[in-house]
């Protein structure tokens, strides 16, 4: 049987690495993409069926070269997971244009660039795109002017992709993770933020990388063959909930 190929960005750690391992368990091959060379080398070591590609996915020329290299190696792309992301929380007044652009480049520009460059291959495979946004793209909060706005744009970009690429049999969906204890989250989650998340989440805990990965792999699989243009939260119920949980628990 021909093995399918998933391209996962930000695969050196966190949600991207967990997703890579789940794809491999399901019998897919994986092109692991990251710009952190030592982390990528370490993460990909010993993962049968995975191959590492170093790339900064926010850079147009690098992305074009990457897709050429992945096609030269595997000859196909069946799923594209746009997972690479950066977080930078700060007040609106302190967010310089340079900080804003840094967040937009990776979180939003890369999703546009990678999806566009992979479209010919995805047309050929009638493949799937899964973009990783965030609960911060669905609900506004303090300090997330750049991060939250970038993720809200990813949610809409997903719907644009689904609308236009459905013609070619390409599905595009978006996963919005709630909080997961990765390096990205722990760099911006203060003790106060961690406590506030617990207060606001019906399941009363952070999620795991694998719990996000399972949703991503499902959306890439044939089991989701009639699902496109959807935004699915894997968030312990955070997005669905209003006020009152802490009082109810007490
Ligand atoms: N962890 C959370 O709580 C959480 C919540 C909601 C959404 N997310 C989203 O999930 C995705 C994965 O986050 P994570 O928590 O696993 O983060 P992480 O920091 O553990 O991993 C992100 C990976 O992306 C890579 N990366 C960043 N910019 C890149 C670029 N320009 N080119 C190539 N690689 C790049 C990093 O080197 C890193 O290996 C992100 O899009 C993030 O915004 C995370």
Segment 95-106, tens digit of pLDDT: 999 999 999 999
Average pLDDT over residues 192-201: 92
pTM comes to: 0.98
The predicted structure's pLDDT at residue 48:
98
pLDDT tens across 83-129, in order?
999 999 999 999 999 999 999 999 999 999 999 999 999 999 999 99
Q: Where are the beta strands (DSSP E) in the chain?
A: 5-9, 29-34, 50-54, 79-82, 128-132, 171-177, 231-234
pLDDT at 15 over 80: yes
| Closest to 58 measured CA to CA, from 136, 117, 114 | 114
Q: For the chain, how many residues are written?
A: 250
- Report residue 1's pLDDT band, with 50, 70 and 90 as the boundaries: low
The predicted structure's pLDDT at residue 139:
95
Pick the atom of ligand 1 nearest to 84's CA: 24
Separation between Cα atoms, residue 231 and residue 174, nearest integer Å: 5
The predicted structure's pLDDT at residue 250:
84
- Cβ neighbours of residue 183 under 8 Å, at least 6 residues apart? 13, 14
Separation between Cα atoms, residue 30 and residue 23, nearest integer Å: 7
Average pLDDT over residues 184-210: 94
User: To 5 degrees, how large is the angle CA 198–CA 234–CA 115?
Assistant: 135
Q: How far is the CA of 247 from the centre of ligand 1 (A)?
A: 33
Q: Which domains does the chain have, with CATH numbers?
A: 5-249 (3.40.50.720)
The predicted structure's pLDDT at residue 87:
97
pLDDT tens across 22-59, in order?
999 999 999 999 999 999 999 999 999 999 999 999 99
| Closest to 207 measured CA to CA, from 237, 243, 246 | 237
Q: How far is the CA of 35 from the centre of ligand 1 (A)?
A: 11
**Which two structure tokens, joined as six digits, stand for 241?**
């909930």
- Report residue 2's pLDDT band, with 50, 70 and 90 as the boundaries: confident
Nearest-CA residue for atom 19 of ligand 1: 184
Q: Any residues with Cβ below 6 Å from ligand 1, and which? A: 9-10, 12-16, 34-36, 39, 56-58, 83-87, 106, 110, 132, 134, 177, 179-180, 182-185
Q: How far is the CA of 10 from the centre of ligand 1 (A)?
A: 6
Pick the atom of ligand 1 nearest to 187's CA: 19
Are the beta carbons of 172 and 162 closer than 8 angstroms? yes
Instruction: Report the chain's mean pLDDT, rounded to a whole number.
Output: 97
- Cβ neighbours of residue 167 under 8 Å, at least 6 residues apart? none
Pick the atom of ligand 1 nearest to 107's CA: 41
């Amino acid at each position: 049987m021909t093995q399918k190929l998933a391209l996962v960005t930000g695969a050196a750690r966190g949600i991207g690495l967990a997703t890579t391992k789940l794809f491999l368990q399901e019998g897919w091959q994986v092109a692991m993409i990251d710009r952190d060379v030592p982390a990528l080398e370490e993460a990909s070591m010993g993962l049968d069926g995975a191959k590492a590609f170093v790339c900064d996915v926010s850079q147009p020329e690098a992305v074009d070269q990457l897709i050429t290299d992945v096609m030269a190696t595997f000859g196909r792309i069946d799923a594209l997971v746009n997972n690479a992301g950066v977080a930078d929380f700060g007040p609106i007044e302190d967010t310089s244009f340079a900080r804003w652009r840094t967040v937009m480049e990776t979180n939003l520009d890369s999703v546009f660039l990678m999806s566009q460059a992979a479209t010919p291959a995805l047309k050929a495979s009638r493949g799937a795109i899964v973009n990783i946004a965030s609960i911060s793209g669905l609900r506004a909060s303090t300090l997330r002017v750049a991060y939250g706005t970038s993720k809200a744009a990813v949610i809409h970009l997903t719907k644009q992709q689904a609308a236009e690429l459905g013609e070619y049999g390409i599905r595009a969906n978006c996963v919005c993770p709630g909080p997961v204890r990765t390096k990205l989250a722990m760099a911006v989650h203060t003790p106060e933020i961690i406590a506030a998340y617990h207060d606001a989440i019906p399941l009363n805990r952070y999620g795991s990388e694998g719990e996000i990965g399972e949703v991503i792999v499902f959306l890439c699989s044939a089991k989701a063959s009639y699902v496109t243009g959807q935004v699915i939260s894997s968030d312990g119920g955070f997005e669905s909930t209003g006020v009152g949980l802490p009082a109810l628990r007490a």
